[in-house]
Amino acid sequence: MEPTPVLYRAEPTDLAGHRLTVQIQITSPQTDGQVLSLPAWIPGSYLIRDFSRQIESIAAFSGEKPVSIRKLDNHRWQCEPCEGPLSVQYQVYAWDLSVRGAHIDQTHAFFNGTSALLAVEGQTEQPCLLELAANEDMEDWQVYTSLPEATGLPGAAERYGFGLYRASNYDELIDHPIEMGTPQVISFFAHGAEHELVFTGVIPNLDLPRIARDVEKICAEQIAFFEPETRRAPFLDCSSRYVFMTMVTDDGYGGLEHRASTALMASRRDLPTQGQDKSVKTAGYQTFLGLVSHEYFHTWNVKRIKPAAFAPYDLSRENHTRLLWVFEGFTSYYDDLLLLRSSVLDETDYLKLLAKNINAVERGPGRFKQSTAQSSFDAWTRYYKQDENSPNALVSYYSKGALIALGLDLCIRSLTQQAKSLDDVMLLMWERYGRDFYQGKPHGIPEDAMPALILEATGYDATDFIARYVEGCEDLPLKPWLAEQGLKLEWQAASKLPSLNARLRQSAGQCQLATVFTDGAAHQAGLSAGDALIAIDGLRVSDTASLERLLTAYEPGQTVQVHAFRRDELHCFTLQLARPARDECVLSRQP
DSSP string, 115-133: GT--EETT-TTS-EEEEE-
Domain 300-485 = CATH 1.10.390.10:
yes
What are the residues whose beta carbons fall under 8 Å from the beta carbon of 280, sequence distance 6 or more? none
Domain 502-576 = CATH 2.30.42.10:
yes
Domain with CATH 1.10.390.10 in the chain: 183-299, 300-485
Mean confidence (pLDDT) of the chain: 96
User: Among candidates 400, 316, 407, 431, which has minimal Cα distance to 41?
Assistant: 316
Residue 442 has pLDDT above 90, yes or no: no
- Cβ distance 564 to 527 under 8 Å? yes
Mind listing the pLDDT tens digit for each residue in 389-431? 999 999 999 999 999 999 999 999 999 999 999 999 999 999 9
Q: What angle do CA 33, 50, 100 make, to 5 degrees?
A: 120
Residue 525 has pLDDT above 70, yes or no: yes
Average pLDDT, integer, range 516-534: 97
Residue 211 has pLDDT above 90, yes or no: yes
Cβ–Cβ contacts within 10 Å for residue 209, how many? 13
Kindly report the CATH number that applies to the domain delimited by 183-299: 1.10.390.10
Mind listing the pLDDT tens digit for each residue in 160-183? 999 999 999 999 999 999 999 999
Domain with CATH 2.30.42.10 in the chain: 502-576
Q: Tell me the residue type at 149.
A: E
The pLDDT value given to residue 508 = 81
Q: Which residue has the higher pLDDT, 590 or 187?
A: 187
Q: How far is CA 56 from CA 15, 53, 422, in A?
A: 15, 8, 49
pTM of the model: 0.96
Domain 6-181 = CATH 2.60.40.3650:
yes
The pLDDT value given to residue 228 = 97
Average pLDDT, integer, range 490-504: 95
- Cβ distance 264 to 254 under 8 Å? yes
Cα(379)–Cα(307) distance, integer angstroms:
15
Across the beta sheet with 178-181, what order do the strands follow? 102-104, 108-111, 178-181, 142-144
- Cβ distance 362 to 585 under 8 Å? yes
Domain with CATH 2.60.40.3650 in the chain: 6-181
The pLDDT value given to residue 164 = 98
Mind listing the pLDDT tens digit for each residue in 324-358? 999 999 999 999 999 999 999 999 999 999 999 99
The pLDDT value given to residue 1 = 58
Buried b (16+ CB within 10 A) or exposed e, 262-294: bbbbbebebbbeeeeeeeebeebbbbbbbbbbb
Task: Say how far residue 214 (Cα) sits from the centre of its chain.
Answer: 21
Residue 524 has pLDDT above 80, yes or no: yes
Across the beta sheet with 254-257, what order do the strands follow? 184-190, 193-200, 241-249, 261-267, 254-257
User: Among candidates 536, 580, 541, which has minimal Cα distance to 557?
Assistant: 580
Cα(76)–Cα(410) distance, integer angstroms:
49
Average pLDDT, integer, range 518-537: 97
Cβ–Cβ contacts within 10 Å for residue 11, how many? 18
The pLDDT value given to residue 343 = 97
Average pLDDT, integer, range 466-474: 98
| Cis peptide bond N-terminal to 312, omega within 30 | yes
Secondary structure (3-state) at 234: helix
